[in-house]
C-alpha cells in the first residue's frame, strides 16, 4: 500500500519582513507629508543655525583676530562685533579695563542725583516717572584717565571729543591731532570719506611695490566668468599680497579698524594706475564684493573723480593724496545697492582695496 505524501506547511519568505518594514516607512512618510501640508508639523529653519551666504548682518572676528586686538594689561580681549544694521549697533567687548570702570564710579558716586529727561516742547530737563535712575556728569577732560577713555571712544566711533552731548565748549585740538578724520558723504550709497588716511611715505611705498609689475587691467566676462581686456577699462594695475611687509600689515589693520571688517575678509590689495585719458566706465564691483575701500596715492591737477551717477545728489569724490573713500556695494540684506553704480574718470594713480564676504 502506497503512503500518501504528507502536506508540508509553506515556509514564510525571508523578504516578507523587509516588505512590511518598507511599507511602514512609506506610510509614515506619507503621514508626515500630510501633517506638513496641513501646517500641523513644521521643520526647523536653518536660518537660525547659519546665516545666508550673501547676508552680512553679522560680522565676527576669528579667535586669532580677537587675540591680536587683546588688551596689553591682561584685562581681556578687546574686539568688535556687529550686532545689528537696523539700527546700526556695534558691541565692543572689553572696551574698558577694570581699573577704568572703578575710576569712573569713584568720580561719579559723590555727585549722583535723580536722572531727568528732556521736555519735548521746551527741551529743558525735567523729572519723569519713566526714568527712575540716578546719574552724574563728568567734565570733559576731567583727568588723564577720562581723557584716555574719551579718545578711545572717539577712535572707535569716529566722532570728535569736541562734539559733546552736554554742549560744553571744548578745545577741538583735544581730538584728531593728526587730522585723520571721517566724513559721511552719502547714505545712498553708504559712503564715508576718510581724510588723510595714508601718510605720504605710505603712498610712495605702495607705488614702489606695485610699479614694476603693472599690467593692463582686465574685466570679468559676465557670461563666461573669464577675465578679458575691455575698452571700457583702460587702466593698468598690480596686486600686493596680503601681509607683504610691515607697512602693508599696518595699512590693512587700519582699514579693518576703520571699516569694522576683518582683514581676512578682504582680497589682495590692488594698485591701479590711470594715465591721462584712461578711464573705467560705469559699473558695479563684481566678485561678490560687499564694500570697496579706495585710497588715492597721488594728487591730480584736474579730473580723476570717482562718480556715482545713480546716487542721490550725484555723488562725486575728488582725489586727494592720502584720502580714502569707503562705499558699500551691497545692502545689509546682501542685495545689490543700485546707487553704488560708479565710474573712475582719468587720473594718475589710485589704490583699491575691495572687501568680499567669504
User: Using one digit for the tens of pLDDT, what is the confidence trace for 10-50?
Assistant: 555 555 666 666 676 677 666 666 655 555 555 544 433 33
Predicted pLDDT at 352 = 45
Q: Among residues 277, 274, 292, which one has the least CA distance to residue 341? A: 292
In three-state secondary structure terms, 148 is helix
Asked whether residue 342 falls in the same domain as residue 193, the answer is: yes
Top-confidence range, 49-63, 77-91, 278-292: 77-91
Count of CA atoms in the C-beta half-sphere (13 A) of 80:
17
Alpha-carbon dihedral angle through residues 198, 204, 207, 212, given to the nearest 10 degrees = -160
Report yes or no on 29 lying in a domain: no
Helix-helix angle 98-108:144-157, to 10 degrees: 120
Domain-embedded: residue 251: yes
Confidence at 356, pLDDT banded by 50, 70, 90: very low
Residue 120 lies in a domain: no
* Residue 87 preceded by cis peptide, ω within 30: yes
* Together in a domain, 325 and 266: yes
pLDDT in tens, 251-279: 998 888 888 788 887 777 888 877 766 65
Q: pLDDT tens for residues 102-143? A: 999 999 999 999 988 888 777 788 888 888 999 998 988 899
Q: Using the 3D structure, point to which of 174, 205, 231 is the last residue of a domain.
A: 174
Give the total number of structural domains in the chain.
Answer: 2
Indicate the SS3 state at residue 80: strand
Question: Residue 245: its pLDDT value, please?
Answer: 92
Residues 141 and 217 in one domain: no
Higher pLDDT, 42 or 67: 42
Could you give the CA distance from residue 259 to residue 256 in angstroms, rounded to a whole number? Answer: 5
Contact 131, 115 (CB under 8 A): yes
What pLDDT is stored for residue 2 in this prediction?
Answer: 52
Q: Could you give phi then psi for residue 330, rounded to 5 degrees?
A: -115, 150
- Residues 232 and 165 occupy one common structural domain: no
Taking the whole predicted model, whether its pTM rises above 0.85 is answered as no
- Whether residues 348 and 229 share a domain: the answer is yes
Domain membership of residue 42 (yes or no) is no
44 within some domain:
no
Same domain, 220 and 143: no
| pLDDT beyond 50 at 93 | yes
Domain ranges, residue 164: 63-109+135-174
User: In whole numbers, what is the pLDDT of the chain averaged over residues?
Assistant: 72
Domain-located, residue 115? no
The answer on 219 and 164 residing in a single domain is no
Domain-terminating residue out of 146, 174, 202: 174
What 8-state DSSP symbol labels residue 7? P
In a domain, 33, yes or no: no
Amino acid at each position: 500500500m502506497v503512503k500518501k505524501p504528507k502536506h508540508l506547511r509553506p515556509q514564510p519568505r525571508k523578504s516578507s519582513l523587509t516588505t512590511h518594514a518598507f511599507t511602514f516607512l512609506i506610510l509614515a512618510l506619507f503621514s508626515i507629508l500630510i501633517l506638513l501640508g496641513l501646517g500641523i508639523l513644521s521643520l526647523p529653519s536653518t536660518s537660525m543655525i547659519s546665516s545666508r551666504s550673501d547676508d552680512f548682518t553679522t560680522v565676527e572676528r576669528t579667535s586669532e583676530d580677537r587675540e591680536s586686538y587683546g588688551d596689553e594689561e591682561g584685562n581681556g580681549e578687546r574686539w568688535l562685533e556687529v550686532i545689528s544694521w537696523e539700527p546700526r549697533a556695534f558691541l565692543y567687548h572689553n572696551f574698558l579695563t577694570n581699573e577704568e570702570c572703578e575710576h569712573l564710579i569713584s568720580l561719579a558716586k559723590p555727585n549722583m542725583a535723580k536722572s531727568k529727561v528732556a521736555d519735548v516742547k521746551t527741551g529743558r530737563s525735567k523729572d519723569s516717572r519713566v526714568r527712575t535712575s540716578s546719574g552724574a556728569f563728568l567734565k570733559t577732560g576731567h583727568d588723564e584717565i577720562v581723557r584716555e577713555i574719551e579718545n578711545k571712544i572717539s577712535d572707535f566711533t569716529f566722532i570728535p571729543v569736541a562734539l559733546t552731548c552736554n554742549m560744553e565748549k571744548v578745545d577741538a585740538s583735544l581730538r584728531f591731532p593728526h587730522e585723520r578724520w571721517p566724513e559721511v558723504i552719502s547714505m545712498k550709497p553708504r559712503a564715508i570719506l576718510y581724510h588723510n588716511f595714508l601718510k605720504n611715505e605710505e603712498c610712495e611705498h605702495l607705488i614702489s611695490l606695485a610699479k614694476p609689475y603693472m599690467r593692463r587691467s582686465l574685466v570679468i566676462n559676465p557670461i563666461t566668468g573669464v577675465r578679458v581686456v575691455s575698452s571700457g577699462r583702460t587702466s593698468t594695475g598690480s596686486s600686493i599680497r596680503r601681509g607683504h611687509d610691515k607697512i602693508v600689515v599696518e595699512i590693512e589693520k587700519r582699514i579693518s579698524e576703520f571699516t569694522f571688517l576683518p582683514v581676512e575678509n578682504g582680497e589682495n590689495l590692488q594698485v591701479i594706475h590711470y594715465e591721462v585719458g584712461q578711464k573705467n566706465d560705469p559699473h558695479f564691483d563684481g566678485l561678490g564684493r560687499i564694500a570697496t575701500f579706495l585710497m588715492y596715492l597721488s594728487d591730480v591737477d584736474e579730473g580723476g573723480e570717482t562718480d556715482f551717477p545713480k546716487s542721490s545728489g550725484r555723488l562725486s569724490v575728488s582725489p586727494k593724496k592720502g584720502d580714502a573713500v569707503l562705499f558699500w556695494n551691497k545692502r545689509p540684506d546682501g542685495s545689490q545697492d543700485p546707487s553704488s553704480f560708479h565710474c573712475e574718470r582719468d587720473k594718475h594713480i589710485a589704490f583699491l582695496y575691495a572687501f568680499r564676504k567669504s
